[in-house]
Structure 1
Amino acid sequence: MDQTERLLHASSFGAAAVAYAEHRPDYAQAAVQWALDPAPGMRVLDLGAGTGKLTATLVAAGADVIAVEPDAAMLAELRRELPAVRALLGSAEAIPLPDGSVDAVLAGNAMHWFDMAVAGPEIARVLAPGGVLAGLWNVLDDQAEWVAGLAQVSGSAAIGPRDTPASWRAETADMHLPKTGEAARFGSPEQAAFPHGQQRTADSLVATLATRAGMIVMPEQEQEAALGRIRAFLASRPETAQGEFTLPMLTSVLRVRRL
């Protein structure tokens, strides 16, 4: 994906903010615990917070959370869902917080949109020494045979890089993280994955996949054709054809520590 296409995808979510809030999953609590081992009152920045899916999990863990999100429509949904959370308009490349003001910076399904050449020094600036930077991604567990079939039918616009465990490990292994330099000094990255799941019906799973950036920016006729293929596949499978089911997922985490 070139820079122009990346920016188009990254800025697309506001058009689907309400659907995103309704249909995107939360994050496995065990994954959040591993990312930062939160204690009550720990100061955590949820960066690229979207509609607050990760924010809510952090609040439930007892963290003192500040949410920063660049899209005004997404931020409005976050403020509606979590009115007690301090939520600011800003980006990973221009964080509206003072130096050393947080103990951890987490990003849920967002770090791949950051320009880390700019965001890395910014994150290091607001993060206290010894603090953690962690990206969390919900990926589909394609060890389930029907999920592997869904990934094949859906195409890369709906289920793409980072959306299954093997592709996530490959995509994040070489992800540009801040490591050295006067402004950004981090240790070696670590990866881990934690079981997770989301209760879905065929219709709500289609609605979830329609909130992926590749689907949002797709021309309407192509989008309807892609969603039609997904509906037909789900209707053909005994696991998904009747009523509610659990979509098997993993919350995968990439973590580095500020030195």
Structure 2
Amino acid sequence: MASVYDSERLAAAYAFDRPPVHQHILRAARLDRPAHRALDVGCGAGLSTAALASVAQHVIGLEPVPAMLAHSGTVAPRARFVVGTAEQLPFGTGVFDLVTAAGSLNYADLPPALREIARVLAPGGTFLLYDFSEGRRSASGDALADWFAAFEQRFPWPAGWRPLDPRELPLAACGLRLLDHTGIELHLPTTFEDYLRYTVSGVNVDSAVEARDWCRDTLAPLFAAGDLTVVVPGYVATLSHAPV
């Protein structure tokens, strides 16, 4: 089945036009020690993989859609990338002391994906499952939230994504347990041009030209007084092997 992410435009947009969210969330996770080998499941263009360079010696990003890896060498030059799925990880048992998944399991068949993550996770290893929402609002009022609602109505999101709450997953049956779940709210100072590139980088935008023109015209008044602090809510869940 064709994926909405099988797109040269999306590969470039996700590589170069998204905000630096992953490193902020990894800092919030408060890992107690650096990892030797880390795996990023469903890495997309590689931004989430690049963020692991500060916490792991060897990093591998795994992505099911080859087209999304077009710029991975530029985005994360220290990492290695592999094409594969979360449900059938092409790695040996117990080889990673850190596994991460940033919003990617929302598209996966969860029970087999979780079992595979538990399988490749080394004894005593850590699995960080995290996600974050779109930057729909600013810290200075409701104008950006109102604009984003109109944007989503004009450019609706495609089907395929499913909400995921780590606290409600069948973790024990898959060999995992939840150690911690922390809500996060990032406040990112953002220029008009940065926010414009960000909004037209999403999977809901088929025609970047049409969207860019509409977004530029309608966003300009919101940034007339200068930069905005965009609020990005999210969470990070820390998991490990379930006790035998």
TM-score computed with the length of structure 1 as normaliser:
0.74
User: Structure 2 counterpart of 1:212, which letter?
Assistant: G
Q: Deviations over 1:11-62 (max 9, x none)?
A: 3455421121111122354521443605234322111111221222210234
User: Percent of pairs identical after alignment?
Assistant: 26
Query: Match for 2:220 among 235, 239, 242?
Result: 235
Structure 1 stretches lacking a partner, 5+ long:
162-169
Q: Which residue of 2 aligns with 1:152?
A: 149
Distance in 2 (alpha carbons) for counterparts of 1:115 and 1:44: 22
Query: Greater share of strand residues, 1 or 2?
Result: 2
Cα distance in 2, alignment partners of residues 190 and 14 from structure 1: 37
Structure 1 or 2: more helix by fraction: 1
Corresponding residue of 1:180: 172
* 1:90-116 Cα deviation digits (max 9, x unpaired): 121221211111112112232212221
* 2:58 counterpart of 1:78: no
**Residue 37 of structure 1: aligned partner:** 31
Cα separation, 2, equivalents of 1:19 and 1:196: 21
Give the match for residue 112 of structure 2.
118
Q: Deviations over 1:137-180 (max 9, x none)?
A: 2323646323322332221686869xxxxxxxx94337863413
What secondary structure does 1:147 align onto? helix
Q: In the alignment, residue 252 of structure 1 is paired with which amino acid? A: Y
Residue type of the partner of 2:77? P
Q: Structure 1 residues 146 and 256 mapped into 2: Cα distance closer, same or farther (>3 Å)?
A: farther
Q: Distance in 1 between matches of 2:47 and 2:25?
A: 14
Displacement of 1:224 after TM fit? 6.1
Pick from 88, 102, 108 the counterpart of residue 96 of structure 2: 102
Structure-2 residue corresponding to 1:202: 192
What letter is aligned with 1:48?
Answer: G
User: Counterpart of 2:196 in 1: which secondary structure?
Assistant: helix
For 1:30 and 1:105, the matched residues in 2 are separated by: 17
Change over 3 Å in CA distance of 1:203–1:120 after alignment to 2: same
In structure 2, runs of 5+ residues without a counterpart are none
Structure-2-length-normalised TM-score: 0.78
Who is 1:56 aligned against? Answer: 50
Per the alignment, residue 192 of structure 1 pairs with 182
